[in-house]
Amino acid sequence: MRIILLGSPGAGKGTQSKLLAAHFHIPQISTGDMLRSAIRAGSPLGLQVKKVMDAGSLVTDDLMIQLVKDRLQQHDCAQGYLLDGFPRTVAQADALQQDGIAIDYVIEIAVNEAEVVKRLSGRWTHPPSGRTYHPVFNPPHHAGKDDVTGEPLIQRPDDQEDAVRHRLNVYHQQTEPLIAYYKTSTRQTEKEQVPQYIRVDGGQPVAEVQQQILTAVHSVAAD
Ligand code: AP5
């Protein structure tokens, strides 16, 4: 089970990735979480990317491609993986293809922009795990505390209004073209190993979005 989750900032990629990774027993590879953990650790990578991330811009393709290739070499990826936040540019998608990195499903979570802004302005995050909450849509059991560890939740610097607006522009310019990229590759080749493209309505509640994804994956797998 090798999956890419596509979607705008705040579409619910992280939320759904965690549920799907647990369901299919595969690792969730969130490039955003990897970079944020490098920033928290104060590593050279973290120092290099902090400013770019806080502003809501993209980290360079070369750096991201190497990071993901190295991660996919790890033992836990042998039976599959879920890529959350990668690829994000056509160059990153080309790099996967050129390296023969197989993908079975590309799942697009589609959400309108007004909903995204509502979600991100209310998002609270548990930095060590990447778990996210929202006071209305996905409240923690105790306000301001992670459900699993009880540790404090924070608001991400790139969830400030200006950075959110910039992230949405970056998404439209650099990531949205991947929708056509993967839809076309599904249609063009019939017998080769190409990803199946699935689009779900991400504007529904979390459990319903997950159900849509599982139903679509199982029905494609049964064909
Ligand atoms: P990243 O962390 O990947 O951020 P993103 O793509 O902007 O996505 P988000 O984490 O904001 O949203 P999400 O879709 O995961 O939504 P979530 O589930 O949290 O990347 C951050 C930065 O890292 C980038 O800007 C860039 O700088 C860098 N980067 C990362 N990868 C890169 C790459 N490949 N190349 C270059 N740079 C890269 O949900 C959002 C909120 O909504 C939460 O509060 C949640 O509880 C709530 N929610 C979720 N689902 C629902 C629902 N169905 N209904 C109601 N509320 C919901």
pLDDT value at position 174? 97
Q: Domain for residue 9, yes or no?
A: yes
Q: Domain for residue 143, yes or no?
A: no
Pick the closest to residue 200 from 190, 189, 209 (CA basis). 209
Atom of ligand 1 minimally distant from the CA of 33: 2
Q: Write the CB contacts of 84 (distance below 8 Å, at least 6 apart in sequence).
A: 5, 13, 14, 17, 28, 29, 30, 31, 32, 33
Q: Domain for residue 122, yes or no?
A: no
pLDDT tens figures, 62-75: 999 999 999 999 99
pLDDT value at position 120? 92
User: Which backbone phi and psi does 113 adopt, to 5 degrees?
Assistant: -65, -35
pLDDT value at position 184? 79
Cα–ligand 1 centroid distance for 3 (angstroms): 16
If you ran DSSP here, which 8-state letter would residue 58 be given? P
- Tokens, residue 185: 């590759």
The per-residue b/e assignment along 42-65, b for 16 or more CB within 10 angstroms, e otherwise, is eeebbeebbeebeebbbbebeebb
Whether 91 has a pLDDT exceeding 90, the answer reads: yes
If you ran DSSP here, which 8-state letter would residue 1 be given? -
pLDDT tens figures, 10-58: 999 999 999 999 999 999 999 999 999 999 999 999 999 999 999 999 9
Q: Domain containing 39: what range? A: 2-111+186-218
Q: What percent of the chain has pLDDT over 70?
A: 96
82 close to ligand 1 (CB < 6 Angstrom): no
Q: Domain for residue 79, yes or no?
A: yes
- Tokens, residue 82: 């879920």
pLDDT value at position 146? 97
Q: Domain for residue 149, yes or no?
A: no
Indicate the number of domains in the chain: 1
User: CA 179 to CA 36: how far, in whole Å?
Assistant: 26
Whether 192 has a pLDDT exceeding 90, the answer reads: no
Report which residue type is found at 38.
Answer: A
Whether 185 has a pLDDT exceeding 90, the answer reads: no
Give 157-160 contacts, CB < 8 A, sequence gap 24+: 157/53, 157/54, 158/53, 158/54, 158/55, 158/56, 159/120, 159/121, 159/123
The protein residue with its alpha carbon nearest to ligand 1, atom 29, reads: 32
Tell me how far the alpha carbon of residue 145 is from its chain's centroid.
23
7 close to ligand 1 (CB < 6 Angstrom): yes
Cα–ligand 1 centroid distance for 116 (angstroms): 10
Residues 91-96: what's their mean pLDDT? 97
Q: Domain for residue 80, yes or no?
A: yes
The answer to whether the peptide bond before residue 87 is cis (omega within 30 degrees of 0) is yes
Active site residues: 13, 88, 123, 156, 167
Whether 201 has a pLDDT exceeding 70, the answer reads: yes
Q: Domain for residue 105, yes or no?
A: yes
pLDDT tens figures, 125-138: 999 998 999 999 88
Q: Domain for residue 107, yes or no?
A: yes
- CATH number for 106: 3.40.50.300
pTM of the model: 0.93
pLDDT value at position 14? 94
